[in-house]
Amino acid sequence: MSGDVCSTLFGSTSILTLTPFDVGVSAVMSIVVVGGFALLYNRVFAVTFDEAFARACGLPVGRYNLAIAVMIALVIVVGMNLVGALLLSALVVFPALAAMRVCGTFRAVTVLAAVLGVTCALVGMLASILAGTPVGSTIVVFDAVAFGIFCVVARIRERGRI
C-alpha cells in the first residue's frame, strides 16, 4: 500500500519500472494530445486569448474549453506514472514559463515550450538512469534550471533594450 501511495505522489523511482503497456498508453495519449492541439490550434488560440471575441465570432466556446480540458487531463494522466502528482504541475508549468520569458507570440511560446519540455524530459530521464535518481524529480530539476537560464537570457535582453 505505501509503495502505491509513494509512486502516485512522487512517480516511479526508475524509468525502467514502467511496463510496456504504460509506455504504449503514454505514447498513444501523447499523439492524441499533439494531434488535437495541432488540429484545433487557431480555435484554441482564439478561445484562450479572448473568449468573448471567440463567442462573438460564432465559435462554440464551450466545446473548445472542453477539448482543452480533455487535452490537459490526458497530459496529467500521461505524467502521473512518471513524475507523480506532486511534481506534475512543475513539469507542465516550467517549460511554458521559460518560453514566455523569451518569446513574443503565442505560437513561439507553444513551440518552444513543447521543445523545451521534451528536451528536459529526455535529458532528465538519461540523467536519472546514469545517476540513479528518481525520474520525476530529475526532470523537474532540469526544467527549473532551464527556466533559470531563460530568466537570465530575458534579463540580458531587457538590459540591451534600455
Which is nearest to 127 in space by CA: 138, 116, 141?
138
pLDDT band at 3 (very low <50, low <70, confident <90, very high): low
pLDDT digits (tens, 9 = 90+) for 130-156: 988 888 888 889 999 999 999 999 999
Mean pLDDT calculated for residue range 122-137: 87
Q: What percent of the chain stands above pLDDT 90?
A: 30
Strand, coil or helix: 15: helix
Which is nearest to 122 in space by CA: 134, 109, 135?
135
pLDDT digits (tens, 9 = 90+) for 71-80: 888 888 777 7
Which phi-psi region, left, alpha or beta, contains residue 11 (left: φ > 0; alpha: ψ -120 to 50)? Answer: left
CA–CA gap between residue 162 and residue 159 (Å, rounded): 5
pTM for the whole structure = 0.76
